[in-house]
Amino acid sequence: MSKLTKELIDQFFVERFQSFESQLNGESKKPLHQQRKTAIKNFEELGFPHAKSEEYKYTNIAKAFSKSIELDTLNDQSITEIKDIEQYFITDLQAINLIFINGHLSTELSAINDLPDGLVIETMKSAQDKFSADIEKHFNTNEIEGSDNFSTLNTAFAQGGAFIKAEKSALIEKPIACYYFNDTQNGDVISQPRNLIIAEQNAQLTVIEDYISIGTNTSFTNAVTEIVM
């Protein structure tokens, strides 16, 4: 790709959304997708923050991208074996491990088949059907601390993150360890995990987040975790 400008990067994500949307099939009719469409429209109007924004006056977004991410050669391949990542787990931690690969919660690699009473863990995609009331009530309806157009972009692509719910008075003794792996072994990676964590009245749980890149290429992570208590 030729020299990246802010406008080119903004347009790249808008076009990427169009491709993402075309693969949603029936999911595009669900309420969450209306949030996505609003988000990408807002992103398209403003794009990434520029030097005129107070928080970014010393940060050149286009320069940061052009030095690190090859948008023409992004990698969609991913880790498929738990043995390839076990070495990165926190030593001697007895936890409910959630494994995210390139921004998507892997139900095959995560320990979610035998959860304690009162704890629900789903992908954001499956939660749209199983916990639609919670999604409609809480997803992107509360103010997100420090939000800007990065979080707006995350909302536009929200699909593969985790829905975590501790029901009323549930005491979840083991911590929930979220391991975010970017697999850059075969190319650069863009990952945008989006999680919604709900703790109902008197519920108790602990969440740990750890970010790991595997490989020698570059990754860009744009993560948002909403916590509702």
Give the integer Cα–Cα distance in Å for 72 and 8: 12
Q: What is the tens place of the pLDDT at every residue in 113-149?
A: 999 999 999 999 999 999 999 999 999 987 777 678 8
What is the pLDDT, as a whole number, of residue 77?
A: 61
- Kindly report the backbone phi and psi dihedral angles of residue 63, in degrees, each rounded to the nearest multiple of 5, phi listed first: -65, -40
Residue labelled with tokens 């997803």: 139
Region 64-79 average pLDDT: 67
Name the DSSP class of 65: H
> Quick one: the chain helix, strand, coil %, rounded to 5?
35, 25, 40
Please count the residues of the chain.
Answer: 229
> Which residues sit opposite 71 in a β-bridge?
none
Both structure tokens of 225: 């975790």
Sign of torsion, CA 135 136 140 145? negative
Give the integer Cα–Cα distance in Å for 189 and 78: 10
Q: What is the tens place of the pLDDT at every residue in 24-55?
A: 887 888 888 999 999 999 999 988 887 777 88
Give the integer Cα–Cα distance in Å for 59 and 166: 39
**Selection from 212, 225, 76, 109 nearest residue 164 by Cα:** 225
Sequential DSSP letters for 7-19: HHHHHHHHHHHHH
pLDDT tops 80 at residue 62: no
**Selection from 193, 154, 159, 183 nearest residue 40 by Cα:** 154
Q: How many CB atoms lie within 10 A of CB 164?
A: 25
